[in-house]
Structure 1
């Protein structure tokens, strides 16, 4: 599974793609199968919004506690908010999705981020 993420230019907030618009919560993100061409189309659309977001890319997901979570540690931190304290950021909201993000395990990097780094 994959999800599309970026940073909103207005305030730097981490955002996720859902049905043609950006949402702030990973739980609201649209998910695609790994081989779904719609994911590539959404990424292309997002990259054509340079006045709205920066560095849009697809991230790999892994199943965690019956829900989906970003595979890479970096992307889980981005989805949860700052890692300096559990009462800061989106992680302070709690709930099943936040618990799944906090307990997920995976790789150091998502293939989408690696591809983005290679292009720069």
Structure 2
């Protein structure tokens, strides 16, 4: 399973793809089980150079019935700043935030590795 992420140019906010538009919460992100659909969405996202920067697919892992990014970096991006639990998206709480905080996995997502290799 994969999700599509990027940073919004207007304010630097981490955003996630959902049905042709960007949402701020990972819990609202569209999840792709089909590689072709995921690559098509990534292509659409990359055609928005004045809206977002560095759109790429991230790998997900299922834990306790909720999907979370495999890589630690992507979990941090989905939670917001880690300087204090009362800052960022993590301050909202809920099952989706708890799943992100408890998830574990690899150091890097293949989407991010591919993005690094292209630069």
Q: CA deviation at 1:104?
A: 0.1
Gap runs ≥5 in structure 1: none
The answer on whether the counterparts of 1:64 and 1:101 sit within 8 Å (CA) in structure 2 is no
Instruction: Tell me what 1:54 maps to.
Output: 53
Work out whether 1:23 is the aligned partner of 2:23: yes
Q: CA deviation at 1:66?
A: 1.2
Work out whether 1:13 is the aligned partner of 2:13: yes
Q: CA deviation at 1:36?
A: 2.8
Aligned residues: 119
> For 1:113, what is the secondary structure of its paired residue?
helix
Separation in 2 of the partners of 1:94 and 1:64?
17
> For 1:62, what is the secondary structure of its paired residue?
strand
Separation in 1 of the partners of 2:86 and 2:64?
22
Instruction: Tell me what 1:81 maps to.
Output: 80
Structure 1 residue runs of 4 or more that deviate by more than 6 Å after TM superposition: none
Instruction: Tell me what 2:90 maps to.
Output: 91
Which TM-score applies when normalising by structure 2? 0.98
Separation in 2 of the partners of 1:42 and 1:62?
20
TM-align CA RMSD: 0.6
Instruction: Tell me what 1:45 maps to.
Output: 44
Instruction: Tell me what 1:100 maps to.
Output: 99
Q: CA deviation at 1:64?
A: 1.7
Work out whether 1:68 is the aligned partner of 2:67: yes
> For 1:40, what is the secondary structure of its paired residue?
helix
Which TM-score applies when normalising by structure 1? 0.98
